[in-house]
Structure 1
Amino acid sequence: VLLAVMYFYPKDDTPGCTAEACAFRDQYEDFKQVGAEVIGISSDAPDRHARFAGKHRLPFVLLSDQDGAVRKAYGVAATFGILPGRVTFVIDRDGVIGHIFSSQFRATRHVSEAIDVLGRLA
């Protein structure tokens, strides 16, 4: 059973979201070494995700949450009531959320937060 890092982000190919995705890509081997899988989630359509992942060589799965059901289930609120929230969840081997990090404007910090927490869970 794997650990999971599930990160919600606003939109493919925007500056902050691209920086965040590329930071997860650049540290992906660190995640794999501790047995963690990375999953990115936004409301973008699957074809847009495929283009985004290909363009930036993302080695992890991007899930489409076009109706916002997954975002709602995890309580990921909009920033300022309009911008989809940027929140990362670290989920342990038992499926329990071990850490939540929310920062709309510190996109790449989500990666270091997740790695720090995984170091304690692994």
Structure 2
Amino acid sequence: MFFYAKDGSPACKRGCLSFKDQYDLFRSLEPQVEVIGISQNTVSEHKEFKEELQLPFTLLSDPERNVAESFKVPVHLGAFPAKSSFVIGPDNPSTMSMIGYSGLGSMWPISCLL
């Protein structure tokens, strides 16, 4: 699960495309890994963004930051969730977290999940 600031922003596009590029590898793991992106955008904005980038994973709308706050995701620039990723195991609410990823090149290596 990863949090990002805003559909359509260049940095968030790069981050989402990074997860898209790794999607098949995530899905090949056992147990199979789900990828979920979360931002404050509306459902209709997510639908358009997902179609534009042809994202194969779910985007969730968190306009009131309820989910972000439950994971203690900090606010960036006074309004947006800081880019953050969480690996949630089947028996553990959150087994790994990374606050402040910057898209391409700094996402956890997939090998840490193997």
Give the TM-score of the pair, scaled to structure 2. 0.89
CA contact (8 A) 1:7 1:41 kept: yes
Counterpart residue identity of residue 71, structure 2: Y
Matches within 5 A, 1:1-122: 6-34=1-29, 35-103=32-100, 106-109=102-105, 111=107, 113=108, 115-119=110-114
2:40/2:62 contact within 8 Å kept:
yes
List alignment gaps of at least 5 residues for structure 2: none
**Letter of the 1:77 counterpart:** P
Ranges in structure 1 where 5+ consecutive residues have no aligned partner: 1-5
Q: Following TM superposition, by how much is the alpha carbon of 1:96 offset from its aligned partner in structure 2, in angstroms? A: 3.1
CA apart distance, 1:94:
1.0
Moved more, 55-64 or 82-91: 82-91
- Distance in 1 between the 2:105 and 2:88 partners? 17
Q: Deviations over 1:78-104 (max 9, x none)?
A: 125444211100011213311111125
Contact 1:40–1:63 (Cα < 8 Å) also in 2? yes
Q: CA deviation at 1:116?
A: 3.2
Q: TM-score, normalised by structure 1?
A: 0.84
Q: Check whether the contact 1:20–1:110 (CA below 8 A) recurs between aligned residues.
A: no
Asked if the contact 1:101/1:110 (under 8 Å) is kept, the reply is no
Deviation at 1:114, TM superposition (A): 5.8
Contact 2:6/2:80 (8 A) holds in 1: no
Indicate if the aligned counterparts of 2:14 and 2:104 stay in contact, CA closer than 8 A: yes
Measured after TM superposition, the shift of residue 118 of structure 1 is 1.4
